[in-house]
Amino acid sequence: MDLLDVLVDDHREIERLFTALENAPPAGPRRRRLLAPLIVGLVGHLVAEEDLLYPAVRRRLAGGNRDADHGLGAHVLAEELMRGLDHRDTADPEFDVLLGRLIAQTRNHMREEEQDVFPRVRAACTGADLRHWGEVVAAARRAQRRVHPARVVDPAARLGAADLVDLLRATATVRPAVT
């Protein structure tokens, strides 16, 4: 599986979790339980894009610096919104506001990537590079799963959203050279 296939699969899983959160009762433990896997998946996805996709965008696409900066800006906003959900009760109206903003901006970001960025990256990069980068992400995720606290029964009960974002950032980094 190449990098772009991995990222599209991530998009589908993130969308599945968004839908589950939107359909869960507004105040209750189900929404809190769904938040941890969303953060785990979303942060892992952001790291893969930051370490592999956006360096390739900068180096290989016309206007790549602008495109990468735009995408990375969306990542900063997503992390701010995830941190804003930290220790907020799901019954708090602000939880719904922050979650709604996270869902809307992330959906828009994923749509932009799939419709514009990914096709251009696929055209500009070799299949061998894309497959290699996909393997790098898969290997990093396998290694992370062996030691990751999200493997416990209920990580949301143990870590707040901000703590989980920080921990994932520290353990999810994959930094091969992108040429």
Report yes or no on whether pTM surpasses 0.95: no
Positive/negative CA dihedral, 105, 108, 113, 117: negative
Q: What is the pLDDT of residues 142-173, one digit of tens each?
A: 776 665 454 444 444 444 555 555 555 555 55
Proportion of the chain above pLDDT 70, given as a percent = 80
The CB-side HSE value for 16 (13 A sphere, CA atoms) comes to: 8
Q: Give the pLDDT score at 140.
A: 83
Domains of the chain by residue range: 3-172
| CA–CA distance, 106 with 73 (Å, rounded to integer) | 11
160 residue type, one letter: G
Degrees to nearest 5, angle at CA 140 with 105 and 150: 65
Phi and psi at residue 25, to the nearest 5°:
-55, 140
Q: Is residue 87 classed as helix, strand or coil in its secondary structure?
A: coil
Low-confidence ranges of the chain (pLDDT < 50): 148, 150-159
